[in-house]
Structure 1
């Protein structure tokens, strides 16, 4: 039996309330997942292989739920706004990589730490960037339109960045026989999300799937963090001295992103709302996009996924500050006072 319009409206409202509540508390949800996973991993050290296997299906579901929230129909409109697009692309793909190289050069030279930081800091975010842009009084429409462009560019440019910024044998690290599952866990959810969006206008079921999928990225990412921390806490315990460096790199990156956003927005004379969107685009990173590649690394690189997860938590804590600071201090609304007399 078809639900009434009132019931449909109530369902949408309840879904929105649940979604907003999850987003407001996501930092603590992820932290709980990290701590619970660490506890499980220490209590069951022999289960790391089984727990590691569970990451892949959880990650595929997370990617599908996230990709369904991207509106490919917004891409043409975002491409027409050449000034904002230029600001976002130059900032994310030219200036930020240079800043990341400088930050990583300040960190102790440890291959796994370096690779983990490069993987996570070089790729702009395509999911919670939109959420934080909206919370920080940015332009969510431009944020939505930018994300597909940023996603495809980062997948093409990341290998080039790594080639230029590392001096170890990437061919030996990213063995194609080990990396292809990571490529599939990225490509298949993306293809499924594109098909879902294409069919949503004709199939009510697909439209409902797309609408309800927006509820799942937060809990699914918490599950992924739980499984990653549970399966990698053992190697991390041997490298606890690296954690402060991850925090330092993440903190320096957040500061650099703010400064870069201000310089670019001033140079291109972006309105305050677009400046805020730019700040959130530069400050947020695409941790779960690179996580499959980190999980496919050979023996000896086990701490890379944990570096990515911990940096993401640092970033989320930074976003709490961004949401307050960016619209009030960094890119405030300009009010024009009427002349006296």
Structure 2
């Protein structure tokens, strides 16, 4: 399965799209399955990185600084440059802001790993990125759209996502690592869990697409206007991430991880925010889902192209450092 991951993921998305189109009534039920499936995926992801290595990664000041600058300085500046050209509809603009201003903390780790990026560094950065976006998002919305729309975004879904998608999977992964280190039975369970990465990723994509496709039907004409912005975002952030990696003198694996964290957005976590908006802003959730679909195809391209953009012998650490 690992040798055919891209094909499997595309097939999962196609199956999800077909299921959502044929049986739209399943959408609400499938929405409740998103967090459990995603939590299981992150549990397996955390399991593959030893706890001690994860703790050491938190002390990697240059990587964390690069991730923060890319996500909370470069990305807002790029969004500001695009903002004036977005459709005038407030709900559509709000949807674009919600999804583009929040860095991904879930499947970015998987895709970065597929491109030989430093997944363990991204794992260490996920709590910092999630807390930072939770604190900064209201301020960003206020700057872009005014106080009325900023006030309707609540932090509750972010806190829930932090506990369900980060704290619980990480604690379970560390517990299993400790068991595996002491008992052969624990090692067998750990080895078995590690083989589920590809199926869980496929299941996550299928559930997300199937649960959200029914909402796209009546808004296809509207959402088509935001697709070019998502594509431009992916293209620009590839080169912005590379520039940030060079600025902070990161090696190629770390630099690839920075490219991925800058390009991938937190659509699965901000979707509950969009779904909780008033009916007058309901199209915002469709705009968020559209970004998910565009991004998954973009990530498949990234997996192939980012290693070429930042080859293994492209050593940013060769930049002279002042004594």
Which TM-score tier does this pair reach, normalised by the shorter chain? 0.7 to 0.9
Rate the CA distance shift 1:163–1:217 in 2: closer, same or farther, 3 A.
farther
Deviation at 1:290, TM superposition (A): 1.0
1:224 aligns with 2:208: yes
| Aligned-pair CA distance for 1:91 | 0.7
Pick aligned residue for 2:75 from 78, 85, 96 = 96
Which has the larger Rg?
Answer: 1
SS in 2 for 1:80: coil
Q: Which residue of 2 is the match for residue 5 of structure 1?
A: none
Q: Tell me the distance in 2 between the aligned counterparts of 1:73 and 1:290.
A: 31
Distance 1:244 1:151, change over 3 A: same
How far off its partner does 1:184 sit?
A: 4.2
In the alignment, the residues of structure 1 paired with residue 243 and residue 208 of structure 2 have an alpha-carbon distance, to the nearest angstrom, of 36
The 3 A distance-change label for structure 1 pair 171 and 85 is closer
Matched, 1:26 2:21: no
Of 149, 169, 181, which aligns to 1:193?
169
| Aligned counterpart, 2:238 | 258
Indicate whether 1:126 and 2:119 are aligned.
no
Between the aligned partners of 1:138 and 1:315, the Cα distance in structure 2 is: 18
Q: 1:216 to 1:161 in 2, by over 3 A?
A: same
Q: Which residue number corresponds to residue 321 of structure 2?
A: none
TM-score for both structures, normalised by structure 2: 0.80
- CA displacement, residues 269-297 of structure 1 (integer Å, 9 cap, x when unaligned): 32233222211111111211111212222
**Correspondence for 1:306:** 286
Work out the number of aligned pairs and report it: 303
**How well do the aligned residues superpose, as a CA RMSD in angstroms?**
3.1
Query: Structure 1 residue 229: deviation in Å?
Result: 2.1
- Moved segments of 4+, more than 6 Å: none
Cα gap change, 1:256/1:136 in structure 2, threshold over 3 Å: closer, same or farther?
same
Q: CA deviation at 1:266?
A: 2.6
Q: 1:243 to 1:56 in 2, by over 3 A?
A: closer
2:37 maps to 1:58: no
Rounded Cα–Cα distance in structure 2 between residues aligned with 1:25 and 1:185: 27
Q: Alpha-carbon deviation of 1:101? A: 2.5
Given that residues 103 and 262 in structure 2 are in contact (C-alpha distance below 8 angstroms), is that contact kept between their aligned partners in structure 1?
Answer: yes
Taking structure 1 as reference, are residues 82 and 127 closer, same or farther at Cα in structure 2, changes over 3 Å only?
same
